[in-house]
């Protein structure tokens, strides 16, 4: 009888602490994903500056259950697996971009004028979406500047509300036709419609028009398979400064 009571208590305790372990795993997944994406962006910037060329980082999201490359246009219907690819202009110019491309007539980067840098990077159990602007007015005491609440608000306030979304990368973005790049590119079976471009000076531009932004943001949410954990506190924002191309991670 005593043994059964002990076993029963152990089962109850295990049931109570299981959510805590799930939360810890989710936090670890998001943090690891953030540093992986940060590494890809920094590699692209370094390559652009070292080789006096332009590099393009594509971000694509598909269902975690996908077994073959998918090629949906934004807003991406699949969730849970992030795929990244980096390509570079071979001749060091933007000649790989067709000047006839518009927001309603997207023309892919010319395949013969770009080269892929490294392999595809796949990140599981992650969803890319807005995590919300920092609190306004700023609370007192002032939050840690390295925290999610203390990060710069430029991606949400640097422009009118009607165009602020263009400062951010989100798989859920429905602002067609501006939720896609003018110049998608293909790599290893995937077509990337959301891109960041680094120039030879290390500056970074985003998505549809490639106009220089003050600060760009990529928000990350944990996912379990195809299901996004929207009720979690384990979210991360990656911000990239437009002029310097510096990448910084913010989390709660």
pLDDT band at 58 (very low <50, low <70, confident <90, very high): very high
Q: What's the predicted TM-score (pTM) here?
A: 0.87
Q: Minimum mean pLDDT among 1-10, 27-36, 90-99, 172-181: which range?
A: 1-10
What percent of the chain has a predicted confidence (pLDDT) above 70? Answer: 87
- At 1, is the pLDDT very low, low, confident or very high (cuts 50, 70, 90)? low
pLDDT for 29 = 85
Residue 7 has pLDDT above 80, yes or no: no
Rama region for 161: left / alpha / beta (φ>0; ψ in -120 to 50; rest): alpha
pLDDT at 2: 63
Q: Which helix (H) or strand (E) holds 61?
A: strand 55-63
Range of the domain at 42: 2-251
Total number of domains constituting the chain: 1
What does the alpha-carbon distance between residue 176 and residue 187 come to, in Å, rounded to a whole number? 23
Q: Rounded CA gap, 81 and 52, in Å?
A: 32
């Amino acid at each position: 009888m005593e043994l059964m009571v002990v076993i029963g208590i152990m089962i109850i305790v295990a049931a109570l602490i299981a959510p805590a372990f799930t939360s810890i795993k989710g936090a670890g997944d998001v943090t690891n994903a953030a540093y992986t994406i940060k590494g890809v962006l920094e590699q692209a910037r370094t390559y652009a500056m070292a080789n006096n060329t332009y590099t393009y980082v594509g971000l694509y999201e598909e269902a975690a259950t996908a077994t073959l490359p998918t090629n949906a246009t934004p807003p991406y219907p699949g969730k849970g697996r992030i795929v990244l690819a980096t390509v570079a202009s071979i001749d060091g110019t933007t000649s790989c971009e067709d000047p006839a491309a518009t927001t309603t007539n997207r023309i892919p980067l010319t395949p013969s004028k770009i080269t892929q840098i490294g392999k595809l990077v796949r990140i599981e159990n992650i969803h890319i979406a807005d995590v919300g602007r920092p609190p306004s007015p700023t609370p007192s005491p002032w939050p840690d500047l390295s925290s999610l609440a203390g990060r710069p608000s430029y991606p949400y306030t640097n422009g009118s509300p009607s165009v602020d979304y263009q400062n951010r990368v989100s798989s859920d973005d429905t602002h067609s036709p501006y939720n896609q790049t003018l110049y998608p590119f293909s790599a290893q079976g995937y077509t990337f419609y959301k891109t960041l471009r680094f120039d030879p000076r290390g500056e970074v531009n985003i998505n549809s028009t490639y106009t220089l932004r003050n600060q760009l943001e990529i928000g990350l949410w944990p996912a379990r398979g195809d299901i996004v954990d929207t009720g979690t506190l384990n979210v991360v924002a990656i911000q990239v400064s437009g002029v310097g191309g510096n990448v910084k991670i913010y989390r709660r």
